[in-house]
Amino acid sequence: MKAVILTAGMGKRLGLKLPKALVEIEKGKTILDFQLNSLKDLIGMQDVLVVVGFKKNKIIKKYPSLSFVNNGKYRHTQTSASLKLALEKINEDVIWMNGDVFFEKGAILKLLACNKSACLVNKKRCSHEEIKYSLDSKGYIRGLSKQIKNLVKGEALGIFYLVKNDLEKLKKELIGVNEKEYFEKGVEAIISKGVKIAPIDVGNLYCREIDYKSDLIHVKHFVANSLNRTIKQRCQKSSLSSK
């Protein structure tokens, strides 16, 4: 299995003038650090492919052991173009994600445990800027876009898993997708031709795309609180073992 992380975008909404993958969640640890840490026990780092574009050398310099694909048209394209470039180099099961998603490792475990093509979702109320999803009569994904208005079930969280047979179909569809579209347009295309994409509910596990400063603040608070809980639990165990 391979993994693809899409980091080519400029992150204008966040306004920090660096690739969002390099934004620090806690001191010295970036969004990409957290993503790689969650993947490392599931996928070898030699099997991770990062799509770069905006200020690409900053990412390449910080992570020299990773493999990279350059989206030289990042200023004028969207994630469909970046994903297409990456998938040209892959011929096996693949998990891919936007480079601005923070998630707990358990979320990835839930996604892969289904053993079929799937995307990670939640069941929360969505804003107009979020990628929403709807379901068909059998509970599989029917629609994936910002424009869905009726029968919205929640947000698609930007993390997908495709088995090899479905991957080949997506490659073909992405060729015809406008490069200014999100990759979800290609996923919708294979769904319309019979591919089944299961919605995997993240449940109580934490997963959030970092589009705005408010998202970044929320994620930082989560990480800080998680660290404090871990320290407290270790102290309690140490105290009990010394008695």
Instruction: Find out whether 215 and 223 touch, Cβ atoms under 8 Å.
Output: no
CATH classification at residue 163: 3.90.550.10
Highest mean pLDDT: which range of 41-45, 145-149, 219-223, 230-234: 219-223
First to last CA, the chain: 47
Give the torsion through C-alpha atoms of 44, 49, 50, 56, to 10 deg.
110
Q: For 50-104, write each residue's pLDDT tens digit.
A: 999 999 999 999 999 999 999 999 999 999 999 999 999 999 999 999 999 999 9
Counted domains in the chain: 1
Q: Summarize the confidence of residues 206-230 as an average pLDDT.
A: 87
pLDDT band, residue 129 (cuts 50/70/90): confident
pLDDT band, residue 194 (cuts 50/70/90): very high
Express as a percent the part of the chain with pLDDT over 90.
Answer: 83
* Domain extent at residue 24: 2-241
Enumerate the β-bridge partners of residue 3: 48, 95
Q: Looking at residue 83, what is its pLDDT?
A: 98
Phi and psi of 182, rounded to 5°? -75, 160
Structure tokens at 200: 């995997």
pTM of the model: 0.91
Taking the CA atoms of the chain, what radius of gyration do you get in angstroms?
Answer: 18
- Please report, for residues 40, 103, 124, 203, 226, the alpha-carbon distance to residue 230 in angstroms, rounded to integers and kept in the order given: 21, 17, 27, 21, 6
Q: How far apart are CA 51 and CA 56, in angstroms?
A: 9
Q: For 27-44, write each residue's pLDDT tens digit.
A: 999 999 999 999 998 999
Q: Summarize the confidence of residues 174-200 as an average pLDDT.
A: 96
